[in-house]
Amino acid sequence: MPHVELPTGIRIRYDERGPRDARPLVLAHGFGVGLEMWYPQMHVLAQDYRFIAWDARGHGGSSAPGIVEDYTMPALAADLRGLLEALDAADGAIIGGMSFGGQIALQYTVDHAADVHALVLSDSTTRGAQPPPTPRTGEVWDWAGDPGLEGCRHAMQTRPDLTEAIKDLQVPTLVIVGTLDEMILPGLRRLDGLPRSRTVRLDGCYHGTSSQRPRDWNQQVLRFLRDVEAGAPLGEDEIV
């Protein structure tokens, strides 16, 4: 699978499918997995889009710096920017992600709003005014000692709160969440400030809607993008 070497020394693994002259549709994976999580989406979304999935630093085949503080959400978004510039895919891209990947996608969109055609936030929301709770003393995670995963955990814990920043974001945004997702639902209202958004709740899903109901997830993304292209209204919050 191909890689891009960024000027910062970070090496990013990616997978690209679909017509190269189509609009780029770029998806970032969740915490602790890799670009392979998007296999149920690749074939469908690559029919009409230049589909790009990638491994964030610390995951999969990408670089994993050994210093935890080298992992920040702006740095992860900058990695994505470097990848898309190297692939000549930054202009007018559709940017999306799931959970941790949604945090990267949102940071990227705030940082580069003029270049983003549309945003897809799956199972993700802003941090909120209070930082997330730190792990309990003595708590041991399965990935403890893995510099990449510890670093990305640090990036999530310390990420900027973009709740106010999104109020000026004019990028059309699709928010997808499961009706049973207790991780995201309590903070979902922090996304109410998005000026141009549609929220779709997938009935019966917990965290990870794209893998639990991939066909419906794909259909909702494609419907949203068709509406964006047509200039149709987006504010159809619904349960499907």
Domains of the chain and CATH, by start: 3-239 (3.40.50.1820)
Per-residue pLDDT tens digits of the chain, which is 240 residues long: 899 999 999 999 999 999 999 999 999 999 999 999 999 999 999 999 999 999 999 999 999 999 999 999 999 999 999 999 999 999 999 999 999 999 999 999 999 999 999 999 999 999 998 766 655 444 445 556 788 999 999 999 999 999 999 999 999 999 999 999 999 999 999 999 999 999 999 999 999 999 999 999 999 999 999 999 999 988 878 888
Total Cβ atoms within 10 A of residue 60: 21
Strands 116-122 and 173-178: parallel
**d(C-alpha 162, C-alpha 23), whole Å:** 26
Q: Record the pTM.
A: 0.94
Tokens of 158: 């310390």
Tokens of 18: 């679909």
